[in-house]
């Protein structure tokens, strides 16, 4: 009996000791793991001489962050955090600290045109805040900064100024009338379910050197500016995104995405519509674009702009829908273009206009209701619309002048084996197909027609 009693007492003591050491005394049940306490702030009723409890909050974020340690959370009660309330900027968020509004959107941080809201070097989280009128929300060269359900309005510069290896992850945020980010070196920005709209002072997002952008399920709309400006060897990936009226009635040369250097862009399941300029402007030979399962409609509403404008580089498109530009669907003045399983429809000019050394490969694609289906003009190019070993499987239909026009007088042979042409004329059979033959220009037939060859230098191999 005595032995059992002693053992019971020892076990009870050990259990109590473990309980005291393992359980944070003030951690609320709803807090994230690692949060051991809260520091409360209220700009109206608080005092920086208070202990920072819910009942006796501090007055300024400045004071709260000077006390906060890793694992703690600074809770901002409803109110305006500005100069009139005693708040000064920038605030430095210590590593491992979370800054959160008690009520979403009701803690409003207001700065001046020269103010930066936050500076940070380590990892931190902000949640449910509303920020207005700053020059920048965050300037940093390091750390991972998580921004959740934030509202950002009327930022004078870019909301995020990121350099070196800094990373920002935004989820469920809105940015209005603000530049989003300027990134350089190997900085990285991730936008999840985030909405960007309104008129910034410059491009929405600028990527320089090896900066990286990832957008998931996010949107951009209603800006007279370029959406994403990519330079050097920057990389951008947009998945399940919507871009509407970006570069809308903007300055000449603006586009949804502007690429130079050796930048690389991937668009997947993304819709782009109503832009004044092209969806993508590729300026240099090193640029590369991959498009999968996207819809581009009604872009290039400015005079002379196509849906996609390729001055150089490599563009690969699969399983997409390109519709309704006031100019051409594509204008290519160099580089390589591969299009597969895609529909190009209702362009005011050519479905595809290729010149000056463009290499074009077209498979299982429909080009319809354009002025010219394909317009080929310029030296050094090639057009593979289907060969004997790899039939094209393309359809050219209801193009008002012709399905394909070879207009370069210096000589260009087009491979066009295994396609369907409507109307079924110029020797096509009832199915709109041609027997194997090499046709040499000039061939000029009154429109509408399947093909024209302007000079004796042009040839089409059926």
CB contact set of 319 (below 8 Å; sequence gap of 6+): 292, 293, 340, 341, 342
For the four alpha carbons of 5, 6, 9 and 10, in that order, the dihedral sign comes to negative
Residue 355 has a pLDDT of 82
Pairing of strands 458-461, 438-440: antiparallel
Which residue from 345, 348, 372, 374 is spatially nearest to 360, judged by alpha carbons?
A: 374
Residue 436 has a pLDDT of 96
First to last CA, the chain: 103
Residues 177, 201 contacting (CB under 8 angstroms): no
Check residue 420 and give left, alpha or beta (phi > 0: left; psi -120 to 50: alpha). Answer: beta
Q: Which residue has the tokens 């909050």?
A: 57
Which residue from 305, 334, 329 is spatially nearest to 317, judged by alpha carbons?
A: 329
Low-confidence residues of the chain: pLDDT under 70: 1-36, 249-252, 303, 409
d(CA 362, CA 370): 17
pTM of the model: 0.89
List the beta strands (DSSP E) in 136-234.
136-140, 144-148, 151-153, 158-162, 167-171, 174-176, 179-183, 188-192, 195-197, 205-207, 212-216, 219-223, 228-230
**317-353 as b/e: b if 16+ CB within 10 A:** bbebebbbbbbbbbbbbbbbbbbbebbbbbbebbbbb
List the beta strands (DSSP E) in 284-394.
288-292, 295-297, 308-310, 314-318, 321-323, 330-332, 336-340, 343-345, 350-354, 359-363, 366-368, 372-376, 382-384
Point out which residues pair with 322 in neighbouring strands. 296, 344
Which class for 186: exposed (0-12), middle (13-18), buried (19 or more C-beta within 10 A)? Answer: middle
Q: Which residue has the tokens 């049940």?
A: 29
d(CA 232, CA 263): 6
d(CA 339, CA 188): 30
Residue 250 has a pLDDT of 65
d(CA 259, CA 270): 18
- Residue 84's CB is within 10 A of a number of other CB atoms, namely 9
d(CA 155, CA 175): 9
Which class for 404: exposed (0-12), middle (13-18), buried (19 or more C-beta within 10 A)? Answer: buried
d(CA 312, CA 292): 20
Residue 252 has a pLDDT of 63
d(CA 184, CA 74): 30
Residue 424 has a pLDDT of 75
Which residue from 194, 277, 274, 273 is spatially nearest to 229, judged by alpha carbons?
A: 277
Residue 82 has a pLDDT of 98
d(CA 319, CA 365): 9
d(CA 432, CA 307): 28
Which residue from 328, 323, 208, 301 is spatially nearest to 247, judged by alpha carbons?
A: 301
CB contact set of 313 (below 8 Å; sequence gap of 6+): 259, 282, 283, 284, 285, 286, 287, 288, 289, 334, 335, 336
**CA 349 remoteness from chain centre:** 28
Which residue from 349, 348, 418, 335 is spatially nearest to 378, judged by alpha carbons?
A: 335
């Amino acid at each position: 009996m005595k032995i059992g009693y002693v053992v019971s007492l020892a076990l009870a003591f050990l259990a109590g000791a473990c309980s005291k050491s393992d359980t944070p005394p003030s951690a609320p049940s709803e807090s994230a793991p690692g949060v051991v306490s809260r520091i409360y702030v209220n700009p109206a009723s608080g005092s920086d001489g208070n202990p920072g409890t819910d009942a006796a909050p501090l007055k300024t974020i400045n004071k709260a962050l000077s006390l906060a340690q890793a694992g703690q959370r600074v809770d901002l009660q409803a109110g305006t955090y500005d100069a009139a309330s005693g708040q000064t900027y920038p605030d430095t968020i210590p590593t491992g600290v979370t800054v959160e509004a008690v009520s979403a959107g009701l803690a409003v941080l207001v700065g001046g045109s020269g103010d930066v809201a936050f500076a940070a070097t380590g990892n931190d989280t902000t949640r449910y805040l509303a920020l207005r009128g700053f020059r920048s929300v965050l300037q940093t060269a390091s750390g991972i900064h998580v921004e959740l359900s934030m509202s950002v309005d009327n930022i004078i510069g870019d909301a995020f100024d990121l350099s070196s290896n800094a990373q920002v992850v935004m989820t469920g945020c809105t940015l209005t009338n603000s530049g989003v980010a300027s990134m350089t070196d190997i900085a990285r920005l991730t936008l999840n379910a985030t909405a960007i709209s309104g008129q910034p002072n410059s491009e929405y997002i600028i990527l320089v050197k090896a900066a990286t952008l990832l957008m998931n399920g996010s949107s951009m709309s209603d800006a007279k500016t370029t959406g994403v400006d990519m330079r050097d060897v920057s990389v951008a990936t947009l998945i399940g995104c919507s871009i509407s009226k970006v570069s809308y009635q903007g300055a000449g040369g603006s586009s949804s995405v502007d690429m130079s250097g050796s930048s690389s862009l991937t668009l997947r399941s993304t819709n782009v519509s109503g832009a004044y300029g092209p969806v993508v402007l590729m300026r240099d030979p090193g640029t590369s674009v991959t498009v999968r399962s996207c819809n581009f409609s009604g872009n290039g509403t400015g005079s002379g702009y196509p849906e996609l404008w390729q001055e150089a580089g490599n563009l690969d498109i699969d399983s997409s829908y390109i519709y309704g530009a006031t100019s051409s669907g594509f204008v290519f003045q160099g580089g390589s273009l591969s299009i597969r399983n895609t529909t190009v429809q209702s362009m005011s000019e050519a479905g595809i206009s290729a010149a000056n050394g463009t290499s074009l490969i077209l498979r299982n694609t429909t080009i319809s209701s354009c002025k010219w289906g394909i317009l080929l003009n310029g030296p050094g190019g090639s057009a593979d619309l289907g060969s004997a070993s790899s039939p094209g499987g393309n359809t050219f239909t209801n193009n008002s002048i012709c399905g394909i026009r070879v207009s370069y007088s210096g000589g260009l042979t087009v491979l066009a084996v295994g396609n369907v042409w409507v109307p079924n004329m110029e020797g096509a059979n009832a199915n709109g197909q041609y027997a194997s033959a090499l046709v040499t220009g000039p061939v000029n037939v009154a429109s509408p027609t399947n093909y024209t060859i302007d000079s004796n230098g042009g040839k089409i191999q059926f």
